Chain A
Amino acid sequence: MGLLNRVSAIFQRRHINIESISSSVSEIESVSRFTILVSVTESNMQKIIGQIEKQVEVIRAFYHTDEETIYQESCLFKISSDLLFDERQIQNIVKESHARIVTVNREFFVLEKSGRRHEVDQLYRELKPFGIMQFVRSGRIAVTKEKMKITHLLEQFNQV
């Protein structure tokens, strides 16, 4: 609960902008995972990791570059339904971008797309000229390519 505050304060006091943060359950029961996206030098990152890790409620903190992770973002577009029928181009965009239509009603339809930032951005650029009623993008979520030692560490703990 208060942990989100504690963790974000560590970035804030160094004037490091958190580009996105997402908190969710993890593969381990009663353990949350925070995925935080920042742009920062490696030496600063190491210092920050140390300061995050020393928070009493943090089990472990790791940092990874883009290359070391598989990552995704997700976004939603709310667009007037008329356009779906009037503008043939929109249907092509939806098809080519592998976006998914979540719902359609008389007034609007909702388009969902998961992918890398540039894919989301591209879709946004393509749809923008037709008029977007609402747009929202989630923070980045990621898994590491390497095995995360944390799983093992916690299994050990749970056995004790």
Chain B
Amino acid sequence: MPKQSLQRQKAVLQMNSNKPEMQTTTIKSDTSKLQNAQRMTGSEAIVRSLIAEGVEVIYGYPGGAIMPVYDALYHFQDELHHVLTRHEQGATHAAQGYARISGKVGVALATSGPGATNLITGIADAQIDSTPLVCITGQVPSGLLGSDAFQETDIVGISTPVTKWNHQVTKASEIPQVIAKAFYIARSGRPGPVLIDITKDAQFDTLDFVYQKCTGIRSYTPEPQLNLACVKSAAALINQAKKPLVVWGQGVILSGAEQVFRSVIETAGLPAAWTILGASAIETSHPLNVGMVGMHGNYAPNVLTNECDVLIAIGMRFDDRVTGHLETYAKQAKVIHFEIDPAEINKNVTADIAVLGDAKKTLEALLPLLTQNTHESWRGRFAALHEIEYDQIIQRDLFPTKEGLTMGEVIHKINVYSKGEAAIVTDVGQHQMIACRYAHFNQTKSNITSGGLGTMGFALPAAIGAKMGAPEREVVAVIGDGGYQMTIQELGTIFQTQAAVKIVLLNNNFLGMVRQWQQLFFDKRYASTELINPDFGMIASAYHLPTKKVAQRADLDGAIAEMMAHDGPYFMEVVVEPEANVFPMIPSGASVSDIRLS
């Protein structure tokens, strides 16, 4: 009886698995190369498909349902480097760090059940921050699907709301086609995470392997067609503007539009501010770079958002942490929205002109239509407001005279010794805001942080991926004592791979950002935000990392110099003021122009 029902289940499964194939056999590819096909197992086909996509490093964690793939990886160690993280969440964040610094697709591998569910936080983070990821999970054999088998979980169902696309493979023959589709979807248009769940029997079965890259899908338009009329009306509005303000986001970086973006703002003399994920697209010191917008952004661009006459949003999505209270956000301004994803148009802020398309292409079309301008007096407003912020906040943060180290002065010293060339990987919280506010970036793709999801625990594994994605670059992970302990086990990965990550732990013995809100909005009721911490130096030492603890201002310079000069991984703890606050601040739900300086 059970045998019978199993067979029936199998039949149902086969019917189901036929269906998506019928509906989505849309990859425009010719099968003429089939004569060159090689017979191999599904798991070998997975590895060969990854290699065919140019993947060099993957992050993962083995387990029962993915073991055939690990066995195949064993035979391809020279071509495909697998990094064993200490937790699957670490694998996704490492893949994200890799993707963010290199612009390539990050790949994570995990087993079924808990292995797969542990990927979810990283996948959700990648979805909201538009990071291209391909996650491959093992699944119980197709005959057991739906039977509550050991380590079975409906990961396709679970990951659906947080993936750009996902798919379950139950037949070996589908593998190359589905992986090709996965990479195409992950990296094209607005990038995002894709999950492929592959049953164990599909990994064991054999197929005739031919790999054809995917070049198109019937139902999917990665980027809207460029509409020149929209570009022209945008140019006309920008040329007429008396008080223009650009707010750019990660779209500029994702589309590789940094150069043309620079030309656009320089030609039209546009003051330009960035969202947290847009940081580093142009250098921090650029005279038109007027700083960060949003909750803990800079004073000038926030205040002047509500004074500008034309707001030019480029590759950003008007997150609530950027806009504050929507009903009072830039109401006086005409809004031009350059955006690749049509679903973002009018989602939060109504656009007077929407220019759909890849930022690089739309800005290239815009550039020749712009007239030269400098907007001297309008830019003077930014300088004047910056001076206020400098006197009241920045100076105290970076060059404190009171006892007690500030997070800002640590970032400042990192700037000095990295000369602005380091990639800064941050976690989430006060240290993140301080680092994003004060880090100096000379190169693009240098600010790697969890923006939209605000994932504590992101930084340490992401830094590993970043270092591997750009080994020539200095990677400094700045982390708070809360988030650090969420993925602290990845010290093991650093130790094993010797990824030369510089870890700077800013320890205030608090969940600082929550504590700040408790102080400001909950009458200092510090509920569950104080941390009794271990000896972090000893933990790092146990992983054989060189460690340094700094508690006095006098020691900071030397310690950072030593860390930056060190070749391999390095751990530094800085004991900072326990109850310092991050300002300026737009209280939640307030208008951007009501930004508080204290």
- A30-B22, A50-B342, A50-B345 given as contacts; is B164 within 8 A of A56 (CB)? yes
* B127 CB to nearest A CB, Å: 12
In the complex, chain A residues 43-84 whose Cβ is within 8 Å of any chain B Cβ: 43, 46-47, 50-51, 53-54, 56-59
Query: Any chain A CB within 8 A of the CB of B341?
Result: yes
* B132 CB to nearest A CB, Å: 14
In the complex, chain B residues 292-327 whose Cβ is within 8 Å of any chain A Cβ: none
A47 and B347 within 8 A (CB): yes
Query: Any chain B CB within 8 A of the CB of A157?
Result: yes
Query: Any chain A CB within 8 A of the CB of B166?
Result: yes
Given the complex of chains A and B, what is the CA–CA distance between A157 and B347 in angstroms? 29
- Please indicate the chain B residues that have their CB under 8 angstroms from the CB of A46 in the complex: 346
B343 and A50 within 8 A (CB): yes
- Please indicate the chain A residues that have their CB under 8 angstroms from the CB of B343 in the complex: 47, 50-51, 53-54
B218 and A13 within 8 A (CB): no
A54 and B346 within 8 A (CB): no
* B48 CB to nearest A CB, Å: 24
Query: Any chain A CB within 8 A of the CB of B20?
Result: yes
* Cβ-defined partner of A54 (8 Å) among B25, B167, B217, B341: B341
- A6-B160, A47-B346, A50-B347 given as contacts; is B185 within 8 A of A57 (CB)? no
Given the complex of chains A and B, what is the CA–CA distance between A2 and B161 in angstroms? 11
Q: Residue of B at shortest CB range from A157?
A: B218
Interface string of B155-199 (1 = CB under 8 A from A): 011001100111100000000000000000100000000000000
Query: Any chain A CB within 8 A of the CB of B528?
Result: no
Given the complex of chains A and B, what is the CA–CA distance between A148 and B168 in angstroms? 32
B165 and A56 within 8 A (CB): yes
B23 and A57 within 8 A (CB): yes
Most buried by A among B25, B218, B347: B218
In the complex, chain A residues 110-129 whose Cβ is within 8 Å of any chain B Cβ: none
- A1-B16, A1-B20, A32-B23 given as contacts; is B345 within 8 A of A56 (CB)? no
* A18 CB to nearest B CB, Å: 15
Total count of chain A residues near the partner, CB < 8 A: 21
Given the complex of chains A and B, what is the CA–CA distance between A6 and B127 in angstroms? 14
Total count of chain B residues near the partner, CB < 8 A: 27
Given the complex of chains A and B, what is the CA–CA distance between A1 and B165 in angstroms? 12
B160 and A30 within 8 A (CB): no
Given the complex of chains A and B, what is the CA–CA distance between A80 and B7 in angstroms? 40
Query: Any chain B CB within 8 A of the CB of A41?
Result: no
* A69 CB to nearest B CB, Å: 23
A59 and B161 within 8 A (CB): no
- Please indicate the chain A residues that have their CB under 8 angstroms from the CB of B342 in the complex: 50, 53-54
B24 and A57 within 8 A (CB): yes
Query: Any chain B CB within 8 A of the CB of A40?
Result: no
Query: Any chain B CB within 8 A of the CB of A5?
Result: yes
* B365 CB to nearest A CB, Å: 23
Query: Any chain B CB within 8 A of the CB of A9?
Result: yes
Given the complex of chains A and B, what is the CA–CA distance between A32 and B19 in angstroms? 11
Given the complex of chains A and B, what is the CA–CA distance between A2 and B345 in angstroms? 26
Given the complex of chains A and B, what is the CA–CA distance between A9 and B19 in angstroms? 21
* Cβ-defined partner of B219 (8 Å) among A6, A47, A59: A59
Given the complex of chains A and B, what is the CA–CA distance between A59 and B23 in angstroms? 11
Given the complex of chains A and B, what is the CA–CA distance between A9 and B159 in angstroms? 11
* A10 CB to nearest B CB, Å: 9
- Please indicate the chain B residues that have their CB under 8 angstroms from the CB of A53 in the complex: 342-343
Q: Residue of A at shortest CB range from B19?
A: A1
* A128 CB to nearest B CB, Å: 38
Given the complex of chains A and B, what is the CA–CA distance between A55 and B55 in angstroms? 25
- Please indicate the chain A residues that have their CB under 8 angstroms from the CB of B164 in the complex: 56
- Please indicate the chain A residues that have their CB under 8 angstroms from the CB of B218 in the complex: 59, 157
* A121 CB to nearest B CB, Å: 35
Interface string of B342-379 (1 = CB under 8 A from A): 11111100000000000000000000000000000000
A30 and B217 within 8 A (CB): no
- Please indicate the chain B residues that have their CB under 8 angstroms from the CB of A30 in the complex: 22-23, 25
Q: Residue of A at shortest CB range from B161?
A: A9
Q: Residue of A at shortest CB range from B25?
A: A30
Query: Any chain A CB within 8 A of the CB of B521?
Result: no
- Please indicate the chain B residues that have their CB under 8 angstroms from the CB of A43 in the complex: 346
* Cβ-defined partner of A5 (8 Å) among B16, B24, B160, B185: B160
In the complex, chain A residues 1-29 whose Cβ is within 8 Å of any chain B Cβ: 1-2, 5-6, 9, 13
- Please indicate the chain A residues that have their CB under 8 angstroms from the CB of B165 in the complex: 56-57
B166 and A2 within 8 A (CB): yes
- A1-B20, A50-B343, A53-B342 given as contacts; is B219 within 8 A of A58 (CB)? yes
A2 and B23 within 8 A (CB): no
Query: Interface of A with B (CB < 8 Å)?
Result: 1-2, 5-6, 9, 13, 30-32, 43, 46-47, 50-51, 53-54, 56-59, 157
A–B Cβ pairs within 8 angstroms, 16 of them: A1-B23, A2-B156, A2-B157, A2-B160, A2-B167, A5-B157, A6-B161, A30-B23, A30-B25, A32-B23, A47-B343, A50-B343, A54-B341, A56-B219, A56-B220, A59-B218
4 smallest beta-carbon distances between A and B, as pairs? A50-B343, A59-B219, A56-B165, A56-B220
Known: A56-B164, A57-B220. 17 other contacts (CB 8 A): A1-B16, A2-B156, A2-B157, A2-B167, A5-B157, A9-B160, A31-B23, A32-B23, A47-B347, A50-B343, A50-B347, A56-B185, A56-B217, A56-B219, A58-B219, A59-B218, A59-B219
